[in-house]
Each structure stands twice: as structure tokens, then as C-alpha cells.
Amino acid sequence: MSEARTDTYQRITDTIVSALEAGTRPWMQPWSATNIGSSFPRPLRSTGEPYRGINVLLLWIASAANNFQHDRFMTYKQAQELGGQVCKGEKGTIIVKYGTVTRSVDNGRGEDEDREIPYLKGYTVFNLSQIDGLPEDFYAKPIPMPEDRRIAGADRFIENTGAVIQHQGDRACYIPALDMIKMPPFRAFESPEAYYSTILHEVSHWSGSSKRLDRLKSTDKRHHEYHFEELVAEISACFLCSDLEITASVRPESASYLASWLAVMKQDKRAIFRAASKAQAAADYLHSLQEKRAAA
């Protein structure tokens, strides 16, 4: 592995670790630290396409730290091609690009064969708040979805997954053996946002069943894979809250996982990349169920 690739993994992991050590969850920071708030979807590319996976977390962190007022990011060259100019003195945000390169390698039998070798490359983007001169429509603020539509949309999203959800008791959990989610009644939550953040977390666990993405490895709270799955579900729920324009709420249970998450990331600089990738896959899967229901 190249030194540059190693440095990119480590630099980004250090950024996430620093935020966690400061007592903040970087995947939730924009809703508590800036006025971007729940009116904004995930960060967008210059084309309007949403960023994915680890890049969402990195750009949310940058938005919170710099109080960016826009959701779109682009490279220096893209800004110039669109007629804009990055303001003097502005510092960009490092994000990553995954790709593959074809190389000829020995297959162990004395023969050369082409193989696709994955690579990770860091590059710099700037928020629209750091760029002047772009067409006016780039700077237009998105119009928040009305409150009644937003909550109804979340209910519809959850229903369309087809997950079996039982509202009773005082505990929120996914039970793999029964393939069922248990939730306290809606009235037991301090806010609608707390309810939807929690149920989207549990639906994210549900997506990892062996019947679906086959991600769940352990239900033993003493096992590191259990804590890793909690991290995946928390990030996935935040992605989904952003997509549904709901202000994500911190689940009280997640506070107990912070120490284990930090330990995992300090030991393995790729852990947060895997967690973000699996969280993105969970969110994608749950979105795909909406499309299937609509087509039915």
C-alpha cells in the first residue's frame, strides 16, 4: 500500500476521532451547530448529485466547523469552468475518491494476468460559501418541506420497507430471531424527531438481517462487532433522516458506545470507512424498497 493512501486513511480517521473525543458525533453535527439544519439534504456535487458514504461525514464536519451556508461543494477547477472563483485565502475540504487500476500480476503459476487493484485518492473541494461568481441559481436556498408532509413521508418510508414493527413496552430494538422491531409507543418519545431517529436506527439494523444484506454478526454486547453494527445503524439513520428532512436526534443509548467506537478507530484506520460504506448500503437498500413498493 502506498504511503499516500495510508496517510489519507489515517488523516480522515484522525478527523473523526477528534470530533468524537470532543463529545460530538460528526454525522449529526450539522443539525446542532449550523443553520443548514434539516432543511438541507446530503452535501451535493457541482452537478447536484449527492455525495455518498464517508464523504457525507467529511462534508458535514466541514459545514459544522465553518458554518457553511450552502449544501453544494466543488473542486477549484469545476468552479472555474462554471465561471466562478474560489475566494482568496479559503481552505478546501479533503474528501476521497475510490477507483481501480488494472495491473499485470503474477498469478502464482508463472503467468501474468490483469487484475483490478482498488485505490483511494484524496482531493479538495470548496463550499459555495467560499466561491464567488457562479450563476445565481447555484446560491438559491432550498425550500424546506412542510412539516406535515415531512412526517407523513417518514411514516410512508418506514411502512414501505415492509418491516414488522410492534409498538409496545419501553425498549427500542431489532430482534433477529423474530425478524421484528419493537418500539415504545409514539407518545413515549420527547419529540417526533426522537421517534423517527430511533425507528430509522432500528430499521437500519433490520436491513442487516441474513434475509437482506446479511450484515449482522453478533448480538453480544461484549463483542466489538455488536458495537460496530451500532455505529453502522447510527450513521445510516442519520443519512435517512437527512434524506427525509428530519432533524436527527441523539439516542441516549449511543453515549455508551462512544468509547468502543474510539477504540476501534484508533486501532484500525479503515474502520470508519467500512462503517460509512455499510451505512450507505443500508440506506440505499431501504430506499430501493420504496421504489419496489411504488412499482407494485
The answer to whether residue 36 scores a pLDDT higher than 60 is no
168: left (phi over 0), alpha (psi -120 to 50) or beta: beta
Contact partners, residue 37, CB within 8 Å, separation at least 6: 30, 31, 247
149-200: pLDDT as tens digits: 668 889 999 999 999 999 998 899 999 999 999 999 998 888 888 899 999 9
**So where are the chain's domains?**
3-139, 147-295
- The string over 154-179, giving b where at least 16 C-beta atoms fall within 10 Å of a residue's C-beta and e elsewhere, is beebbebbebebeeeeeebebeeeee
Are 47 and 72 within 8 A, CB to CB?
no
Which DSSP string corresponds to 217-285? ----TTSHHHHHHHHHHHHHHHHHHHHTT------GGGGGGHHHHHHHHHH-TTHHHHHHHHHHHHHHH
Burial of 244 (0-12, 13-18, 19+ CB in 10 A): buried
**Model pLDDT, residue 80:** 97
Say how many CA atoms lie within 13 Å of 283 toward its Cβ: 23
Q: What is the residue type of 19?
A: A
Give the least confident one: 113-122, 183-192, 246-255. 246-255
63/53 Cα distance (integer angstroms): 16
Are 39 and 63 within 8 A, CB to CB?
no
The answer to whether residue 29 scores a pLDDT higher than 50 is no
- Most confident of the following: 137-146, 147-156, 166-175, 259-268: 166-175
Length of the chain: 296
What's the pLDDT band for 289 if we cut at 50, 70, 90? very high
Contact partners, residue 252, CB within 8 Å, separation at least 6: none
Residue with the bigger pLDDT between 24 and 231: it is 231
